[in-house]
Amino acid sequence: MLDPVKVGVLGLGTVGGGVVNVLRRNAQEITRRAGRGIQVTHASVRELSKKRLCSTNGMILTEHPMDIVNRDDIEVVVELIGGTSRAFDLVMKAISSGKHVVTANKALIALHGNQIFAEAQKAGVNVAFEAAVAGGIPIIKAIREGLSGNKINWVAGIINGTTNFILSEMREKGRAFGEVLKEAQALGYAEADPTFDVEGIDAAHKLTILSAIAFGIPLNFNAVYTEGITKIERMDVEYAEQFGYRIKHLGFARMSEQGVEMRVHPTLIPHGRLIANVNGVMNAVLVNGDAVGSTLYYGAGAGSEPTASAVVSDLVDVVRTLTVDPENRVPHLAFQPDAISRNVRFLDISEVETAYYLRIRADDRPGVLADIARILSETGISIEAVSQKEPPEGVKQANIVLLTHRVKEKHMNEAIRRIEALPQTSGQVKRIRAEMLP
Ligand code: NDP
Ligand code: HSE
């Protein structure tokens, strides 16, 4: 058998530590699959003295990741630092030095992937990123290879473990947002800057990647409509339950004749749907293809070893392809680089159609509901269900909660503007989009 492939790991935190542990524990199985051993000979960290998740015996540890990238004996660089500046320089240098790259960095791929893949194509090296979307779920491989006979119609998923963990703990145990976020950070689920999780940016990075490989379009993070979970209140979770729905933070992308829509936002989903029952740090992605219909992929969306599982499977793929002619490798973005549709139209959120949950604070007196119903009817919006929640003792205004049928966002914007202008209502109308999903 050939000598083991020498790998340099940049970053030995939650994911890097997991990668070393999995490679060591499953060394025999991995070698049997890859055809060669995979050995981490060098790793980089910020602080040499920090306690690690893995043993660093048998590897050289440095604070200078570029030194590892510059080593001639390293064949594969695994980037697990995160962020988009230092990581970008390291990855581009690795590529230009003819090294294969494995990364879990969704921000890097979503923002700079077009440039990175073009350089990798020129250099004849692989850049693998399975761990960048949905942690341990092999969703990139499923779409890029398993579903390559299909025209993909849409993709919908719970693709951020931290927000799903927070929403689940709030709903099931009534825990406070901030307290659960702290726990997600301690468990290693959250991004270095957790606003990326709770404001939906991390999910938008992942949806950018999923859309590119599903539809054969360039990565376009700026075209994703992004809303996080910070404005979700407990009462909305309860009212949604009373209507038979769960609130999930969902990424949704669809290719239609009108163009491509990409959006991440809190979403009401009927509680009987499988995806509405995906809780805690688990992720799930629904992919609808014209031949296969709807398929569902489920698993841990974050955490040390689930993410390491995806990184190591990329490493095995890279080692397997070391001997393959670069022209015949699976394309980075699923479609051949010269076959990517560059003239695609991305839909503005105002053009997107969904159903809605609305919560309106209004005076508790006759005629208010009739005024609201009239505005909705005049803007072409039909109501599916309505309920008035009695105000607590001493409070004058009640909550009117509505579910509507599907309507274009621009018509809903107009209706909300008119409802907010009614003298009998106050504050902003709370709007949460709803999807029925299979
Ligand atoms: P951690 O913060 O746990 O680890 C980051 C590692 O990189 C640490 O070893 C740190 O060193 C080192 N590092 C940080 N900043 C620098 C820097 N400027 N220069 C050099 N080294 C640096 O992050 P994670 O392991 O959680 O995440 C790594 C990547 O994986 C990110 O891109 C993240 O988005 C992605 N990811 C994470 C998942 C998860 O569940 N955590 C899941 C899927 C993807 P030191 O340890 O000394 O501080
Ligand atoms: N912070 C991310 C999450 C890590 O919670 O989903 C996995 O990508």
Query: pLDDT tens digits for 46-71?
Result: 999 999 999 999 999 999 999 999 99
Sign of CA dihedral 184, 185, 190, 193: positive
DSSP letters, 90-149, are HHHHHHHTT-EEEE--HHHHHHHHHHHHHHHHHHT--EE-GGGSSTTS-HHHIIIIITTT
Q: How far apart are CA 371 and CA 377, in angstroms?
A: 10
Mean pLDDT of 257-276: 98
Q: pLDDT tens digit string along 94-118?
A: 999 999 999 999 999 999 999 999 9
Looking at residue 346, the DSSP 8-state letter turns out to be B
Contact 356, 153 (CB under 8 A): no
- The full DSSP string for 24-53 is HHTHHHHHHHHSS-EEEEEEE-S-TTS--S
Mean of the pLDDT values across residues 221-246?
Answer: 96
Percent of the chain with pLDDT over 90: 94
pTM of the model: 0.97
List the chain domain ranges. 5-136+304-339, 139-300, 353-434
Residue 364's pLDDT is 86
154 band by pLDDT with thresholds 50, 70 and 90: very high
Ligand minimally distant from the alpha carbon of residue 81: 1
Q: Identify the nearest ligand to the CA of 82 by its number.
A: 1
Residue with tokens 């719970």: 158
pLDDT value, residue 365: 85
**What percent of the residues of the chain are helix, what percent strand, and what percent coil, each to the nearest 5?**
40, 25, 35
Residue 297's Cβ-side half-sphere holds a number of Cα atoms within 13 Å equal to 22
Question: Residue 274 CA to chain centroid, in angstroms?
Answer: 18
Domains 5-136+304-339 and 353-434 share a fold: no
Q: Whose CA is nearest to atom 45 of ligand 1?
A: 46
Q: What is the CATH number of domain 139-300?
A: 3.30.360.10
- Rg of the chain, C-alpha, whole Å: 24
Tell me the C-alpha distance between 50 and 16, whole Å: 14
Question: How many angstroms separate the CA atoms of 293 and 104, rounded?
Answer: 29
Which residues line the pocket of ligand 1, CB cutoff 6 A?
Answer: 11-16, 44-47, 50, 65, 80-82, 86, 104-105, 131, 135, 188-189, 191-192, 302-303, 307
Residues in contact with 335: Cβ distance below 8 Å, sequence separation at least 6, in sequence order:
213, 216
Q: Which residue has the tokens 């055809």?
A: 35
Instruction: Give CA–CA dist 366/363, Å, rounded.
Output: 9
pLDDT for residue 325 is more than 90: no
Query: pLDDT grade, residue 323 (50/70/90)?
Result: confident
Ligand 2 surroundings by CB, under 6 angstroms: 135, 160-162, 189-191, 197, 202, 301-302
Catalytic residues, by residue number, are 206
CATH of 5-136+304-339 among 3.40.50.2300, 3.40.50.720, 1.10.3720.10, 3.40.50.970: 3.40.50.720
Residue 326 has pLDDT above 90, yes or no: no
Across 179-289, the runs of DSSP E, i.e. the strands, are: 225-226, 245-256, 259-270, 282-289
Architecture of domain 353-434: 2-Layer Sandwich (3.30)
| The pLDDT of residue 329 | 87
Mean pLDDT of 360-387: 95
